[in-house]
């Protein structure tokens, strides 16, 4: 049986809005950090053997250009919130490959490992609708649907509870720490660093993160 090949949708905020909770630590490097984190996330997704394509949704030309050069398909963000952006990416994925499963992936996973993403996607392929909770167990880092299944992402805030309440299967797997470790705070960034940051994030954090 041939393994599913996925479309991955990654929403990327405009730089003026990105990583604002890290502004105190990153200072003048905040925008560079945001681009680096998105670059490492998209690079890992593109390197995953189960991923056919990465679709980036953004309104910012700087990450758009960087991620397009990596090989991602870039579509404009309608600027009506995160879940609307994800649905725009989903629409593009259906246009490009209507028979492929689709997963929404947060853009702030700087330690993401292709093999760990593959493990999560392999598990997701067993269900019509599923998700991976973030490391604290409050939010969501990945939301996945099979071919032909309604795409109903519920990201933002306590999204784990919302995904559960609507019947999506929670994927609690060993060995996917890098898929669950999104980064909003300095503590998150240190936790991601302990897993091993991607090269772009590592280069930027070396300018300001000590210890």
Does residue 210 fall inside a structural domain?
Answer: no
Q: What is the pTM of this model?
A: 0.96
For residues 77-88, give the mean pLDDT.
Answer: 96
Instruction: Say yes or no to pLDDT of 1 above 50.
Output: no
Instruction: Say yes or no to pLDDT of 170 above 80.
Output: yes
CB 25 within 8 A of CB 140: no
CA nearest to 29, candidates 169, 179, 206, 171: 206
The number of folded domains in the chain is 1
pLDDT band at 20 (very low <50, low <70, confident <90, very high): confident
CATH of the domain at 186: 3.90.550.10
pLDDT tens track for 107-159? 999 999 999 999 999 999 999 999 999 999 999 999 999 999 999 999 999 99
Does residue 94 fall inside a structural domain?
Answer: yes
pLDDT tens track for 24-38? 888 999 999 999 999
Which domain range does residue 104 map to? 6-205
Does residue 198 fall inside a structural domain?
Answer: yes
Q: In the block, which residue shows the tokens 């032909």?
A: 148
140 labeled part of a ligand binding site: yes
CA-CA distance, 106 to 155, in Å (whole number)? 9
93 labeled part of a ligand binding site: no
156 labeled part of a ligand binding site: yes
CA 179 to the chain's CA centroid: 8
CA-CA distance, 54 to 10, in Å (whole number)? 7
């Amino acid at each position: 049986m041939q393994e599913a090949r996925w479309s991955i949708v990654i929403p990327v905020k405009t730089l003026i809005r990105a990583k604002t909770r890290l502004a105190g630590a990153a200072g003048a490097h905040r925008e560079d950090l945001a681009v680096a984190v998105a670059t490492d996330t998209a690079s890992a997704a593109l390197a995953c053997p189960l991923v056919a394509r990465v679709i980036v949704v953004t309104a910012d030309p700087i990450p758009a250009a960087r991620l397009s050069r990596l090989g991602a398909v870039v579509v404009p963000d309608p600027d009506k919130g995160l879940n609307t952006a994800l649905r725009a990416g989903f629409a593009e994925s259906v246009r490009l490959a209507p028979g492929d499963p689709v997963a929404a992936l947060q853009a702030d996973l700087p330690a993401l490992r292709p093999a760990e993403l593959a493990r999560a996607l392999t598990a997701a392929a067993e269900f019509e609708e599923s998700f991976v909770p973030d490391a604290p167990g409050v939010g969501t880092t990945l939301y996945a649907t099979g071919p032909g299944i309604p795409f109903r992402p519920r990201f933002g805030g306590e999204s784990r509870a919302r995904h559960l309440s609507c019947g999506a299967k929670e994927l609690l797997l060993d060995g996917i720490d890098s898929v669950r470790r999104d980064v909003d705070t300095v503590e998150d960034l240190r936790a991601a660093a302990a897993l091993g940051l991607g090269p772009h994030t590592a280069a930027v954090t070396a300018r300001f993160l000590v210890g």
